[in-house]
Chain A
Amino acid sequence: MLNRRGVLAAGAAGAMLPGPLSRARAQANTIRLGVLSDMSGPYRDATGPGCVVMTQAAVAEFGARGFNVEVVQADHQNRPDVGANIARQWYDQGVDVVLDVPTSSVALAVNQIAREKNKVFLNSGAATSDLTGSQCSPNTVHWTYDTWMLAKGTGAAIVRTGGDSWFFITADYAFGHALQRDTTRFVEAAGGRVLGAARYPFPATTDFSAFVVQAQASRAKVLGMANASTDTVNTIKAAREFGLHRSMKLAALLMGLVDVHALGLESGQGLLLTESFYWDLNDRTRALTARVRAQNQGRPPAMVQAGCYGAALHYLKAVADIGVAAAKADGRAAVARMKAMPTDDDAFGPGRIREDGRKLHPVFLFEVKSPAESRGPWDYYKVAATTPGEDAFRPQAEGGCALVRS
């Protein structure tokens, strides 16, 4: 018995001894990027493996400039403890950057660890504006989007096109509340009115018809859906069934290309949503898509995946600028250099990173095409409005970030 237990313990110990540690010491000239994402859960399609592909695309585009770049990946299973554990081990074992990290709870946990270990955290997948607000960090860049920008991009832009009375269907938790609150502010600031809201229990709701009927009774012009992924898809399906789209515009506050794909154009047509990237925007985005599509299972990159590309590419440029040794030793210095350099890539075009870690780039309000307008697979969007990067995100002064000197 003693032997059996001993063997078990030794086996576990041997397995736990970090193998990469020895490798890391031998490779002082290698930058290691760790993509920590949801590879098996609900966000897999929007980030996950596609983010790894896009990070590798950035490495390929960057080319060889006197140092090696290695990409590793892991699945945080949307669990903060698993994510935090991996990030900690990675940082301790020579990974310099953790990339992506969808799911706000995991992202905020990794944010703490990166700061504690003085490494770099480039977030693309999480929505929480706190990453550049109350919890901002000199080691973190928040690249792609956040809830504030979604609210503004959708709320203000739709009122300008005539949708001045709103009804919300809101997921009853912090994320849904934040989206509704922020959007309400922009709707009202632009001269619109909010006629009512229905809060539904999250995540226990699959049938949204009850709330859709309430929205219909409100006679508002716009239905704002302050929820995400499957819930949004189910809301839209119910709305179409009840003929809501004939009298109201449907505005999804957080919805991406893969969700539209899941919904189908038949149900999705006419839907308004906000993103900062679409593969068919211009020649540069189309060229980028052509380069990566084969590796990405034939799909064009989604917004968060494009963010992984943009963030990784800009980081590598900063590393080339300050030198590998300095970048590896001091994550804060690498991020500071990223902020000092203007950004430019095929996905987001020219832009910059603000003092609080917020990346600025244009934000688009898209309208989903009808099946007749769509020329082929993944041809889903047409641009309805554009907000320039400097106006699209929360002003630094309002975020409450301690890094910003007032």
Chain B
Amino acid sequence: MASETTAGTIAPATSADGVWGFSRAQLAALGVLIAFLAIAPFFLYPVFLMKLLCFALFACAFNLLIGYVGLLSFGHAAYFGMGGYIAGYTAKAYGISPEIAVLAGAAVAGIQGWVFGWIAIRRQGIYFAMITLAMAQMVYFFCVQAPFTGGEDGIQAIPRGSLFGSISLASDMTMYWFVAAVFLIGFLLVHRIIHSPYGQVLKAIRENEPRATSLGYRTDDYKLVAFILSATLAGVAGGVKSLVFGIATLTDVHWSMSGEVVLMTLVGGLGTVFGPVVGAAVIVTMQNYLAEMGAWVTVIQGAIFVAVVLAFRRGIVGEIAHALRVKL
């Protein structure tokens, strides 16, 4: 298994050592992350933070595929957006509690991931990217027409409801702790998956699929499970986001959203544990500021893509880790 990080291959691997699969450097970074989560809402705008965490979780889910299985999905908006629609719809139409709504969104996204994954894993590399993009486009067309999504108006005024039927999430602060908890669970789950025996097989498949096959692993099954997990987590992120903002709209199933999550992960560092989180923070913050600056959003996003691919393929966290000679 590749332990040296080379800039030429997508996704450097991290091998398991230290506590709970975390290396010492990663533990320190995790400490910083948790401390940040605990203090941030007292001096940053909570709604902004919640948005950031939703995207961070989305990017982590995406990174599970690209970073550890080497599969570039260009259609992850389909799961993110569908999770949002289902969570929003069930919360609004049936008034069910938020945690069930999010789980419902995740379940539908997971099933969708199962079907699409089953088709898409027949090809690798750029074919895989094109296929996932095409399928996500289908989901987008479906959402434009389906009555329950509200078309271009989207689902509006989704209630946040009460957690377990008792804790009201109406205040931004309470909602924030809920979102932070969901994010942290998702983040640790991804990490746990990667460092399980199952995760080791995934990495083996990425490095040398024929060899993994010859060792008796049914590689397609492994890839499909990873795809389903990634789609489900993306659905969780989308579901939470729709509850935070009280809206679920077409933006979240559009192909540009798929591009954005690729950008976040790429900027942060493909295949790093903390990269997606940092990448999401950078891109979401940037969007917030570009909003006040005017018309150059797409140009700047495109330029970042180009700059990262040409100049620093390891991404922010990857470069830092490389400079400090640790794994992050």
Contact = CB atoms under 8 A, between A and B. Distances in A.
Given A75-B294, A86-B291, A104-B152, A2 B28 contact: yes
Given A2-B28, A88-B47, A105 B40 contact: no
B48 A81 contact: no
Contact of B288 (A1, A85, A202): A85
**Secondary structure of the B contact surface, majority rule:** helix
B144 A40 contact: no
A174 B149 CA distance: 10
Contacts, number: 129
Interface string B302-328: 000000000000000000100010101
A85 B44 contact: no
B29 interface: yes
A128 B153 contact: yes
A89 B247 contact: no
Given A13-B40, A18-B45, A173-B151, A5 B32 contact: yes
A231 to B, nearest CB: 13
Contact of A79 (B28, B48, B150, B251): B251
Interface string A71-111: 01111111111101110110000000000000111001100
A175 B69 CA distance: 41
A130 interface: yes
B287 interface: yes
Given A105-B247, A203-B144, A135 B156 contact: yes
A86 B32 CA distance: 28
B97 interface: no
A214 interface: no
A135 B246 CA distance: 14
Nearest to B149: A174
Given A4-B320, A16-B44, A86-B291, A112 B32 contact: no
Given A40-B298, A75-B295, A174-B150, A1 B28 contact: yes
Given A1-B28, A174-B153, A75 B48 contact: no
Contact of B48 (A8, A74, A85, A204): A85
B291 A202 contact: no
A275 B249 CA distance: 28
A172 B142 CA distance: 11
A372 interface: no
A76 B245 CA distance: 15
A394 interface: no
B255 to A, nearest CB: 11
B296 interface: yes
B278 interface: yes
Contact of A1 (B151, B285, B324): B324
Interface of A: 1-2, 4-6, 8-9, 12-13, 15-18, 39-40, 44, 72-82, 84-86, 88-89, 103-105, 108-109, 112, 128, 130, 135, 172-175, 201-204
Given A74-B291, A103-B152, A112-B156, 17 more contacts: A1-B326, A8-B278, A13-B40, A16-B285, A75-B295, A76-B291, A79-B249, A81-B249, A82-B287, A85-B245, A105-B251, A109-B246, A109-B247, A128-B153, A135-B157, A173-B145, A204-B137
